[in-house]
Every structure is written in C-alpha cells, then in structure tokens.
Amino acid sequence: MTIAGSADQKLSRRLRLGMVGGGRGAFIGAVHRIAARIDDRWELVAGALSSDPERAKASGEDLLLKPDRIYGDFNEMARRERRLKDGIDAVVIVTPNHAHAAAARAFLKAGIHVICDKPLTTTRREADQLAKLAHESGLVFAVTHNYTGYPLVRQARAMVEAGELGAIRVVQVEYAQDWLATRMEETGSKQAEWRTDPARSGPAGAVGDIGTHAFNLAEFIVGDEVASLSAELHTFVEGRRLDDNAHMMLRFASGAKGMLWCSQVAAGLENGLKIRVYGEKAGLEWHQENPNYLTFSPLGEPPRIIRRNGYGANEVSRAASRIPGGHPEGYLEGFAQLYTDIAEQIAARIEKREPNPFSLQVPTVDQGVRGVRFIDAAVRSSQRKAAWVDL
Amino acid sequence: MTIAGSADQKLSRRLRLGMVGGGRGAFIGAVHRIAARIDDRWELVAGALSSDPERAKASGEDLLLKPDRIYGDFNEMARRERRLKDGIDAVVIVTPNHAHAAAARAFLKAGIHVICDKPLTTTRREADQLAKLAHESGLVFAVTHNYTGYPLVRQARAMVEAGELGAIRVVQVEYAQDWLATRMEETGSKQAEWRTDPARSGPAGAVGDIGTHAFNLAEFIVGDEVASLSAELHTFVEGRRLDDNAHMMLRFASGAKGMLWCSQVAAGLENGLKIRVYGEKAGLEWHQENPNYLTFSPLGEPPRIIRRNGYGANEVSRAASRIPGGHPEGYLEGFAQLYTDIAEQIAARIEKREPNPFSLQVPTVDQGVRGVRFIDAAVRSSQRKAAWVDL
Amino acid sequence: MTIAGSADQKLSRRLRLGMVGGGRGAFIGAVHRIAARIDDRWELVAGALSSDPERAKASGEDLLLKPDRIYGDFNEMARRERRLKDGIDAVVIVTPNHAHAAAARAFLKAGIHVICDKPLTTTRREADQLAKLAHESGLVFAVTHNYTGYPLVRQARAMVEAGELGAIRVVQVEYAQDWLATRMEETGSKQAEWRTDPARSGPAGAVGDIGTHAFNLAEFIVGDEVASLSAELHTFVEGRRLDDNAHMMLRFASGAKGMLWCSQVAAGLENGLKIRVYGEKAGLEWHQENPNYLTFSPLGEPPRIIRRNGYGANEVSRAASRIPGGHPEGYLEGFAQLYTDIAEQIAARIEKREPNPFSLQVPTVDQGVRGVRFIDAAVRSSQRKAAWVDL
Amino acid sequence: MTIAGSADQKLSRRLRLGMVGGGRGAFIGAVHRIAARIDDRWELVAGALSSDPERAKASGEDLLLKPDRIYGDFNEMARRERRLKDGIDAVVIVTPNHAHAAAARAFLKAGIHVICDKPLTTTRREADQLAKLAHESGLVFAVTHNYTGYPLVRQARAMVEAGELGAIRVVQVEYAQDWLATRMEETGSKQAEWRTDPARSGPAGAVGDIGTHAFNLAEFIVGDEVASLSAELHTFVEGRRLDDNAHMMLRFASGAKGMLWCSQVAAGLENGLKIRVYGEKAGLEWHQENPNYLTFSPLGEPPRIIRRNGYGANEVSRAASRIPGGHPEGYLEGFAQLYTDIAEQIAARIEKREPNPFSLQVPTVDQGVRGVRFIDAAVRSSQRKAAWVDL
C-alpha cells in the first residue's frame, strides 16, 4: 500500500497563499487552511482576514502570519503582494458572498491567481463581468465547489463520460440540512446571520448556500448542462428573509430529467448531499456523508459497492486518494484535492509545462457563473409559480 | 415473546373470500391469496379467475376450489354467490385496472363486501360513481394500498397525528423501480403488457402503477391532503405509450411542500418506495425495502432507530405485528394486515359490534378516488407544462 | 413478475397437520402455524396443544379445530390419528425441549411423519436413539432449523458448494439478543421461564436456544462439519441457572477456522444472527435481520449486493422465493419454506415419485443430532477451561 | 458552525518534528506527515528517512528538508539535533517493528520526546526496558495507536467511564482485512515483505500488525485490562512464515468476556476494525470504516445514532473534531488528533502549565508495553493449544 495520487508528486517549493476573509469566528476559512495544508503544496503567508482591522490583526496573529503580511484591507494586500519578491502565488476569497467580486477583481488585476468560494457573486451581471475579466487575465480562477474533489465523485463523472451508464435519463440530487430549522440567525450565530441576510448572501438562502453545490455536483457528474428548471422556493421559519427550502424539476440539455431538493429545515439531516444518476445501462448512487462508497448498478447485475482506492476504483479516483481503501478519507481530503490540483495548475505555469490532466477537474469561474445563473433562474421561476425558466 | 396484534384475536369461523382475476400468470392475485391466509381469517372458496373461461377453470383447479365455485364470469359469480347459504362474504378484484369498476359494481349490487386493487378505476367519473355506489351500499369497500399495512407506516402516521413532528413542512416521497428500463412489454411479460397499455392501464403508466402508492402513502402518513401538484411525466423507453418516469412538486392543504418521484426505469432499483417527512420538531424516514426500521430524528437529539415490535414501537405498530422484533416481517405480512383488518370490520358487522379501531386504517373507496384524482391531475399538469393543478 | 418457486406447484389435496405443544401463551407454535399456511400446502386439523388439558381444549377451540381432534395428550393423539381415514400426515412438536423425544417417538411409532423443533433432545443418548428410530421408520423427520429456509442462505450454501469462494478459510457466526439481559424469568414470561430452566431446556441456555441455530447455519452454508470446539460459557445475570453468553472457537474438518458467539444479554440486539464466510477466492456475508441481501465479495472485485429474487440470485434462492425482489420476504416466509419442502417430500412419497431436489435441504434428524452434540461439546469444553472437545 | 476542539487553540510557534523511517515507498510515514500537518502544530524539519543513505537523501529532498537536516543515520540525527538551537522537539519513529527500540532509546537519551509506531518492540524484554527508560527520562513517549484519536472512540470511552453502559459484560472486537489473502510478499510489495518477515515484524503477523490495534481499542474504550486470553493463530497462505488469521477469547480483569478476531485473509474486507461493547444497561457499536457514527443502545430504548459533532456528541468527542457533523472526518483526522494532543502535552511543558486534559488520552509507552504483552501471550497460547495465558 502506498500513498497514491498527485499528492505524492515532488515540488521544488511550496506555493504561497493569501487569504481574504476567514478570520476569527468564521467556519469555511479554517476549512480552507486545513485543506491547503494536507498535501503540503501550500503555505499561508498573508491575509486580510476580516473587514474589521482589529479582528484582522488578531486573526493573523493566531495563524502565526508575519506582522507585515497581515492586512486590514484586501486592496492593500493585492497592491503590496504583487510587488513582493516572495509575494503570494494565489489568494483565496472566503468572505460572505456579496464581497467576492470586488476582492476577486483586485487580485486578478494584480496578476494573482484566484481561488473563490461559491456562489461566485450575488448577481448575474457581476458574475459575467468577473468571468470576462478572469478569462482576459489568463490567470487560474478556481471556484471551490469542493464536493468535486471527492475521489468517488470524480470516478462517477468518469464512468458517465466513458458511457458506462449509457444515455442518462434521470438525475436525483438533494442537499438537505437542519441547522436552520429554528431561528438560528437570532442566536448570535455569525454563520446563520449572513446566510439569511439578502444584503450579504444575495437573492437566495438555501438555494445559494447549498443548492448551488447540488446543482454543480449534478452538472459535474453528468457532464451535461441543465437547460431549464421549474422551482418552488419557500421560507418555513417565520421572519426569515430568504428561502430555507426549495424543490425543483430540471431539464438537461441532453433530454435527461432531474429533481433537486435543498433544505435547511429537514430535521435530523446534517449535511445530506446525495446524488443518484440513472442511465440506460446502469445507475450510480453517492452520499456525501459516507463518501468512500459508490454504488454502481449495471442493469441486470447485482449492485456493486465501489470503495475509494479499493477494487474497482478507477485511475481518476485513485489519483485523488491519499490512503488505502478502508482508511476513510473525508470532507477535508476532498477539499484538499482542489488545493492540490490548483497548485499543480499553477506549478505547471511556473515550470512552463502541461499540468496533470486530472488537475483540470477543478471548477472554474465558468462553473461559478453557472451557479449564479442557477440561483437567478430558481428565484425567477419561483416568483412565476414555478414556470420553466432557462438558465 | 408472544404473537402480538389483532392476528391473535379469536373468530368463530373463517370468512369466505371470492376472487376476480388473479389466475395463472398473474402476480398480484397470488400475493392476495397468501396475504389472506397468513392470519387465518379467510378461506378462498370461489373465483372468476380469468376472463378466459379455460384459464379460469384451470386456475380454479390449481387452487383446489370446488368445481361449482369456479366461475367463468364475474357477473355470474356475483349473482350465484349472493344466493348461496355459504356464499362469499367478500370479493377481491385483482384484474387489470380498466376492469375494476364493472366488477366492483356487480358485487356491490349483490350486497357483497368488496376489496379492490388500485388504482380504483381509469377515469375520475367512474371513480366518483363507484364511490357513490359504495357509500350508498353501506358495504365495506377496501382499496389495497397495501403499504399502509406495514406496522411502521402506521406508527409513522400515529406519530405525526400525535404531534411528535410538530407542523409538517416537507414531504419527500419516491417509488422507483427498474423493471421497465427496457421494452419488457415486447418480451411476452403479461405484467408489462397491460401496465403499458392505455386501454387496460388507464391514462398513466408509472404514475398509475406505483405513483399512486407513493401518493397514498404520503397522504396516509401525513394525515393531510395534497391540494395541488405540478408534474412532468416522461416516457424514456422508445415506443412505450405511457409514462415510465414522473417528477412532481406537491402542495399540501396545510402548507407543507413535497416532492414525488416515480420511475420504472431507474437502473438498479427494485421496489424503492421511500418516504421522508420533516416537521418543525422532528423528522421521520422509512424505506419499504427494509421495512422493519423507522428512523425518528427529534430536532436536537440523535436519530433513533425504531424497530418493528421493538423498543419504542407504539401500540399501533405492535397491533399490526405478528412476531418479535428482529424476526423480520415483510411485504406479505404488511399485505396480510389489510386482510386481517378487513376481516375484523366485516366480522364486527356480522357480530353487531364495534370493530377494533386499528382495523379502520385500511384505505377505502375514498382513498381510491384520491388516487384516481392524483393520476388525473398529474396527467393534466404534465400536458400543461407542469402547471399547478388542483386535485 | 410471477410467483416463483415450489410454492406454486400444484397439489391434489392439502396435507393434514397435527401439533403437539404451541397452545395459548406459546410463541413458536403460532409461528409454525403461520408458516404452514403461507404456501397453502397444509391444513391444521388436530392438536395436543398443551400438557394442561384445560389449556389444550381452549387452545384448540381458538384454532377452530374440530372437538374430536383436540387432544389432551400426545399419546392419545398418535394412537387415534393413525387409525383415522383422514388422520394427520405429519405432526409438529413445539413443546419445551425436554418433551421433544417422547412425543417424537410416539408419532414415529404411529407411522406419522415428524417435524420437530430444535434442539432435538436434551441429551446425546436420547438424540442418538431418536435418530436410530427415525432412520428405521423410513419416515420424514424434519428439524426446524428454520434459518435454512431463507432463500439467500440457500444461495450462500450453493455458492460455497459450487466453489465460488474456493477453499473456506474462516467462518464468523454469531447469534446475539438482549431479551434476557435482565431477570426476565421472574417476570412471568413463560418463554423465559422454561428457557432458563435446566429441567426443561437441557444443559445449556443460550447455547441450546440460539447457539444451535448459529452452529447449524454455519455447517449448512459451509457444507462441512465442525470437528472440535473450544468454548467458554458464562452466566451474567445473577441467579440464572443456565448460560446466557458463550464464546467459542471452531475447527472445521476441512481445516477452516471459525468463531461462534451467542448471547442473550447483548443490549441493543434483537435477533442478531449473522454469518460471514471467507474463502480463498471470495467472501460472503448475511444478516438474518435484513435477510433479503447477501454480500458477495470476490477477491479483487467490488462487493456485490445480491438481492433475493433479484439480479444474481441463483435458481436455488429463486425456488425458495415467493415474490419479486424489492418486496421483502422475512422470517415467516423462510419458515414457510421448510413446511413447503416437507410437504413436497411427503407428497412425493404419497405420489410415489422423486421429490423436487431443492426440498431435500430441510434439516433432518441428523442435523438435530449434530445440534445436540454441539451443545454437549460446548458444555464439556467450558467445564474444562475451554479445552478443545471433539463433536 | 465553528471549527471545534483543540485544533483551534493558539500556539506561539509550531513544534519541530523529526522522522526516522518513512522514506520513499513507505506507507505509514506519509500518513504521519499529513497527520502532523492537519492542525498546524508541527513542522517537519529533520529526518533519517531510510536506513539506505541514498534513499534517505532522496526522500528528504522530496520533503523539502534542508540538506543539513537530512540524516543517513538516526544516531547521528539524535546527537546533532540535541545540540541545535532549533533542534527538533520530538521525533517520530516509523521504521519496521524490529528497529523501533534502538531508535527510541537514542532519542530518549538525547532528551527528545518520542512518538513511536506500534507495536512498540518485538520482544517483551525490550518493551519493558524501553518503558523503564522512558519513565526515567520524564519525556513524552507516545505510541500511535491512532484509532484512539477518532472522536467517537473517545466518546465511547467516556460513556463507558461515566457508567452509561453499566458494568461491562461482553466485548466483541475485530480487525479484518484481505490484502494478504494471496502471497503479496512475493509481488515486490515492501509493506507485505517486512510484515510477513519474523526478523522485521517480530513473532506475530496479523496479530502484531492489526491485532494489537484491536486489543488496544478494546482496552481503551472499556477502561479495563485483559487479564488472560486463549488464542489460535493460523497461517492460511502457504509458505507464509507468520500468522495471517487469529481467533481469541478474552477475559477482562473486571469479569467481562470478549472475543477478538484479526485476519488479513478475509476476502472482501478492507480495514474492518469494529468494536461492540455490551454492558448491563446499554450497548455501543463503532466501525472504523464509517467512523462518524456511534450506535448507542440503552436497554429498553431504540438505538440512537450519535454522529460526530452532532446532537448527542459529548465534549470529549467535540474536542477531537474539526468540522461540523455531516462533513465526514476520517482516518487522517483521527491520526492528526494524536499529533495535536502530543503537541499540547509538549507545549504545556515548554510553557510550564497543565496540558488540556483531553490531550492525555494519547497512548503512551505503557500501552505500547500492553500491546507487546498481548502479542506474546497470543503466540504462547496458540503454541499451547489455546490454553489460557495471562498477560
């Protein structure tokens, strides 16, 4: 048994990472930092960790950043880092949604690669503009739809692409939680506060926070675009300003049909992202909460349990695995895979070579744009009695 | 450990059952016969088992019916059995859908209690007429939505009714199979032939065959009616004349929201009826293929696995159980429960007493009408681009 | 989809069954009666249902037996039934263990086929004598190790026999419950009383009650005999006179090694009979509480989930199934299969033909003797500090 | 949702780690490095990564070690690092088993804290001597029985300690794999070679490699010592020199009884470490391959599924968690917890304060000694026909 995958590749130096947002009290910032460390491709060297300068400073000290690399403002950070000899190679933006676009623009303009949390922006216009800028820059622009980093999600995608399921007919995807089943936003939870605040979260609640992940996962695995959707968004918790549950029907460009359910009020569910894909020849099922297993059911044969890095795991999933089957990898390793792949893309540019093709599976600004269109379409459909809306 | 439930009640004689349909080559007829035997309340004594007289005779002989109780025609059977001293107490109708109504009318008019397979009829008009006739007759009229006979389905219903989930918010129900993923109807399968034939099956395929069960299960457990739905029906298998997949969004009268998926082309799934119900205070999950477990998740507590006839099983589910927890009961026992309950209702009339209240959970002609309205609404909605249609 | 298996075969009349034991308050008697009814091969016509004449009479009336077929004594029943023109074809003995032998002898001597609950007897000597008598009689003598009636248990056995696992190396079998975790025998439970009473249960408690089932299942599936064992029996509940937990190491004749655990004090377990078999080429896993699934893991391939009557189910398991995959069958159907097979064996004798070979899988008096030897060896090993004892 | 546990505590600098063994081609070395990085308490700064100087150098370069911190020999490393101003705070020893003792001694003598892989040594004498030296040194000496770092393993231990299960009666533990089901040691696998070589692995194969983990886990959770055992070790793969399967019966000091099975030939199993503990009042079940769930079954209540960092998770398991429930943590995070706890212990000494008490759960040299005694007892018992041997 050996450590498999690109995590094992040699590198001549660690890449330098800066972070915008993610200071004390944040959740996802810490996840990004662990993810960046796991495969040892990155070192965090700079940060504008909060829009509150006091908190930014304290947070930077917590992380053992050098004092001169702790910034109170992302614009300052972008300006200065571009001039440093050992300036950051890439920045990761983990602020609330409404602040993504401005920060991303600043670093793109500074010639620094960007890693941005989802959803990309809070409006379609902003998303399209940012995509244009990113493409023109020629820089790496990754959007952390992290569930695409799970080995067996990649295996699923490769199996669909290879035709092992035949033409896809039905896609059932859901992402349900219960942490907003009560008025959490009034308990002092920063997470709940901004996620239920249209000014910071954008036009959608659950749809933007987790629905986008479900949508992205479906398009990622199926390798097809959702052409139109019919959605009913609803707010169950009284006084909440954004949706906390949404039901949708999906039509894929290829003719496949789908359903998407996202909820933050489903009592008993923690982080229930699940996808099932049914084709003419076989079906697939994967659950994020138990991510080391992929059920593959060829029509006419008993279902097979494909285990991460186990028998039947293909080279795509093996390349995204660290340790042998039966030694469970989880959320952080799936997230780490994105960081490792992004590092590979950037290293390839530095070293003027082609990147490992597996590394190109990381969602880009284009998938970010898809996510924003999805939110926009869902909100508009719901406003129009679940009329079909094109993406 | 003792045998629990109404199956243990004493009776002074077995009730006499007649069957229409269910001859050689049929599936559900044999299921009904086993179900009727399990708790020893019934004996099958008469049958018009096929519309083909030869097949009817041979089928009756297979079942050891007396020659003079084997009929070639249900009208003849109804007429003669009503006059016999030991004539049948009840008839069960297990023909293809289009033939339910005429047979049911004949026995109602003969004063014989009716057990009818679902869907009740193939049109709303016929359903309404039949319901009227049934109500006027004062006879027992049961519709075999057999999944309501599962002990933990009844436990779920009782828990919702008792408020253990609080106000219901979300209902996710699905019923997916794969046996029609290919053109089975051209392989000589009688089952596939009539189920995909509009003349015998009615206006819907998967929606009528299994969608109605999912719909019934949702209304049964939630104790609420679906007010309107938005549906997209689709036929994936080329040349098939009825839908083999349907996606729906549901609005319940109470304000709860739901989704319903039914499919007969979901590769890898056998008989995947599942329901999840989420309320303000707790969630519930039940899977038909593993029916001895009910997951109950009170908000803020670890999920609990309630096992049939085990710790936490309530009196409702215990009354529908035969053997101790850990000794799995299945589909046939769930089906048997309906027969036992119907026997109890009829015996109570014979004995001029109140029936055991648990026995009144059996779906009646009214639930049969709901099922037909559901099919009708789904078909109409789909024809109108998934517009919301009231039931 | 059709009803599969021998349950569908035609018969010219139902066989007549008598029962010894199984009156009011009994558990397993009612299970036998349901099992005998399910496939419609038997009718219960006579009984000596209790050693208490009052209870015997009342129990017979509960079951709608004719007054002259209700006996207060099994000897009288054997004597009279042998002379009746429509006397019973077979008797089933469901008394506490100590009473099996005398009843079995009485019916064998009357020329009546015998179905006997397990363990066969409470001593080796009695078991050997009974086996001798049974063999001399030429009658059918079945011992209801009912778990051998589960379709996928039979599939497992056939797969081992066909060499699909290669030479067997390791067998892990367990049967654990919790219903005797407290002093149930002092709560008025008849079941607990006699099962913890050496006079009625024999020299072992859990080992005799459930350990024998585990042992039988292992030998049945592996198709090999346990040559010797090392056992530690223990009584955890204070004041109890028989073991309530036992650990054993097993050596099979072929060289395979095994472990057996049985317990009635394993808090949280209901009826946890599980077996895992590992061979040179593949492994198998089956759980009684979820009996419609068999996990088959060929070395070097993903595990496959074989479902009852589903893809990958072989003809052996299909022949023991009634309804399509996904419609769960359970404990009662597994038990029913024994009755159906015993009926087939007896019917073949009546009709002077060869029985369906699948029907010959029912455990006989010889497996009954094996069970008694197992109990005897376990008790002796435990008395000798877990020394290895030959069976 | 916030990042929980000690991973969040501030530190003034990262601790410096050296590694002995773990060079190219090794498995567990890379695991240790990831584990050390995850919570950002450590930086790897020195290594004697192979006994082959060429490989040592190349491996050090792969890891971006400074040239003067890459050593060809652990003695040299110990001598030099003790004198460096920024010398290592601790060393981790990940060589094959036979080489643990000498390396550990060298670093203890150099005053450097030691982290040692299991089993501690290959003989009892060596283990006892090393423990004496470690105790005299006053240094931290951790043994990486990494499964004790899983949050829910710690929760289980705390629940037993708090009496939630009552007096423990039965412990069923197993650790089964299939990777040595064939002659892997002849395929060029370094891992398989040394693990089946008595000169490097010690007197036991599966028992030493994985049986020790199972044994440690049982003692860790139950909080009790195994007093004696009866074992049968066996080698199934022809030509193999060490056991590849072992069955054991255990007697705990408190009177609890247990079974332990370890195997490396169980076709279909990957890394099947499972433990079940049954007490007077409740039972617990945990599976390493699905480590985010702990089943807790109080007698008389439905089983509850306790999820990592979810409802019902106690402060002990929360302190060992990084991310919210439903975001699975796995093997690497469990391993990381040991590194985080060891860092806390060392930091507390540097900062002259009491360590966080949760950090003291890391297995020490004493648990290492227990593991060696276990191996020794198992081997001797097996040689004596599974006689009971005291530990």
CA B92, distance to chain mean position in Å, is: 12
Which residue in D has a C-alpha nearest to residue B301's C-alpha? D311
Binned at pLDDT 50, 70 and 90, residue D10 comes out as low
Binned at pLDDT 50, 70 and 90, residue A204 comes out as very high
CATH architecture of D150-318+368-390: 2-Layer Sandwich (3.30)
Question: Which residues in chain B have Cβ-Cβ distances shorter than 8 Å to A177?
Answer: none
Question: Which residues in chain D have Cβ-Cβ distances shorter than 8 Å to A292?
Answer: 289, 330
Among A274, A260, A16, which Cα is nearest to A150's? Answer: A274
Picking from C165, C226, C249 by the largest number of D CB atoms within 10 A of its own CB, the best residue to mutate is C249
Q: Is residue A34 less than 8 Å (CB to CB) from chain D? A: yes
Which pLDDT does position B7 carry in this prediction? 45
**What is the rounded average pLDDT for all residues in chain A?**
95
Q: Read out DSSP for D91-118?
A: EEE-S-GGGHHHHHHHHHHTT-EEEEPS
Separation between Cα atoms, residue A196 and residue C324, nearest integer Å:
48
Among B181, D84, C314, which Cα is nearest to A302's? Answer: C314
pLDDT, tens only, D144-203: 999 999 999 999 999 999 999 999 999 999 999 999 999 999 999 988 999 999 999 999
Q: Is residue C305 less than 8 Å (CB to CB) from chain A? A: yes
Residue D5 predicted with pLDDT over 70: no
Which pLDDT does position A300 carry in this prediction? 96
What ipTM does this complex have?
Answer: 0.95
Domain locations in chain B?
A: 6-146+360-364, 150-322+368-390
Residue D1 predicted with pLDDT over 60: no
Q: Which residues contact D187 (CB under 8 A, 6 or more apart)?
A: none
Binned at pLDDT 50, 70 and 90, residue C6 comes out as very low
Which pLDDT does position D67 carry in this prediction? 96
Sign, Cα dihedral of D186, D188, D191, D193:
positive
Q: Read out DSSP for D277-296?
A: EEESSEEEEEETTSTTEEEE
Range C36-63 average pLDDT: 95
Binned at pLDDT 50, 70 and 90, residue A367 comes out as very high
Sign, Cα dihedral of A159, A164, A166, A172:
negative
Q: Is residue C172 less than 8 Å (CB to CB) from chain D? A: yes
Which pLDDT does position C164 carry in this prediction? 98
B253 CA: distance to closest CA in chain D (Å)? 32
> Quick check: do A6-146 and A147-323+368-390 share a fold?
no
pLDDT, tens only, B83-113: 999 999 999 999 999 999 999 999 999 999 9
Interface of D with C in 329-368 (CB under 8 A): none
Separation between Cα atoms, residue B186 and residue B201, nearest integer Å:
16
* pLDDT above 70 coverage of chain A, percent: 97
Residue C213 predicted with pLDDT over 60: yes
Range A22-40 average pLDDT: 94
Q: Is residue C287 less than 8 Å (CB to CB) from chain D? A: no
Contact C305 A306 (CB under 8 A): no
pLDDT, tens only, D46-97: 999 998 999 999 999 999 999 999 999 999 999 999 999 999 999 999 999 9
Question: Which residues in chain B have Cβ-Cβ distances shorter than 8 Å to D305?
Answer: 302-305
Question: Which residues in chain C have Cβ-Cβ distances shorter than 8 Å to A300?
Answer: 311
Among C364, C171, C174, which Cα is nearest to C254's? Answer: C171
Contact A169 B385 (CB under 8 A): no
Contact D230 C236 (CB under 8 A): no
Separation between Cα atoms, residue B255 and residue B65, nearest integer Å:
51
Amino acid found at A91: V
Separation between Cα atoms, residue B166 and residue D235, nearest integer Å:
58
Which pLDDT does position A11 carry in this prediction? 66
Written in H, E and C, the secondary structure of chain C is CCCCCHHHCCCCCCEEEEEECCCCCCCHHHHHHHHHHHCCCEEEEEEECCCCHHHHHHHHHHCCCCHHHECCCHHHHHHHHHHCCCCCCEEEECCCHHHHHHHHHHHHHCCCEEEECCCCCCCHHHHHHHHHHHHHHCCCEEECCHHHHCHHHHHHHHHHHCCCCCCEEEEEEEEECCCCCCCHHHCCCHHHHHHCCHHHHCCCCHHHHHHHHHHHHHHHHHCCCEEEEEEEEECCCCCCCCCCEEEEEEEECCCCEEEEEEECCCCCCCCEEEEEEEECCEEEEEECCCCCEEEEEECCCCCEEEECCCCCCCHHHHHCCCCCCCCCCCHHHHHHHHHHHHHHHHHHHHCCCCCCHHHHHCCEHHHHHHHHHHHHHHHHHHHCCCCCEEC
C305 CA: distance to closest CA in chain A (Å)? 5
Q: Is residue A172 less than 8 Å (CB to CB) from chain B? A: yes
A296 CA: distance to closest CA in chain B (Å)? 8
A294 CA: distance to closest CA in chain C (Å)? 10
Q: Which CATH superfamily is domain A147-323+368-390 in?
A: Dihydrodipicolinate Reductase; domain 2 (3.30.360.10)
Q: Is residue A296 less than 8 Å (CB to CB) from chain C? A: yes
Which pLDDT does position A10 carry in this prediction? 59
CATH architecture of B6-146+360-364: 3-Layer(aba) Sandwich (3.40)
Q: Is residue C310 less than 8 Å (CB to CB) from chain B? A: yes
Range C153-158 average pLDDT: 98
Contact D301 B307 (CB under 8 A): no
Range C128-148 average pLDDT: 98
Q: In the beta sheet, which residues pair with residue C246?
A: C233, C262
Contact D296 B305 (CB under 8 A): no
The phi and psi torsions of C254 (rounded to 5 degrees) equal: -75, -10
Which pLDDT does position B10 carry in this prediction? 59
Q: Which CATH superfamily is domain B150-322+368-390 in?
A: Dihydrodipicolinate Reductase; domain 2 (3.30.360.10)
State the greatest distance between any 2 C-alpha atoms of chain C, in Å, as a whole number.
Answer: 64
Identify whether the C-beta of residue B261 lies closer than 8 Å to the C-beta of residue A244: no
Range B261-282 average pLDDT: 98
From the number of C-beta atoms within 10 Å of its C-beta (0-12, 13-18, 19+), residue B386 rates as buried
**What is the rounded average pLDDT for all residues in chain C?**
95
Range D225-247 average pLDDT: 98
Q: Please report all neighbours of B, defined by 3+ CB atom pairs within 8 A.
A: A, C, D
User: If you count residue pairs, one on C and one on D, with CB atoms under 8 Å apart, how many are there?
Assistant: 122
Separation between Cα atoms, residue A379 and residue A371, nearest integer Å:
12
Which pLDDT does position D9 carry in this prediction? 52
Is C148-323+368-390 CATH 3.30.360.10?
A: yes
Cis before D198? omega within 30: no
Range C309-322 average pLDDT: 97
Binned at pLDDT 50, 70 and 90, residue B11 comes out as low
Residue D6 predicted with pLDDT over 60: no
Which pLDDT does position A190 carry in this prediction? 86
CATH architecture of A6-146: 3-Layer(aba) Sandwich (3.40)
Entry pTM = 0.96
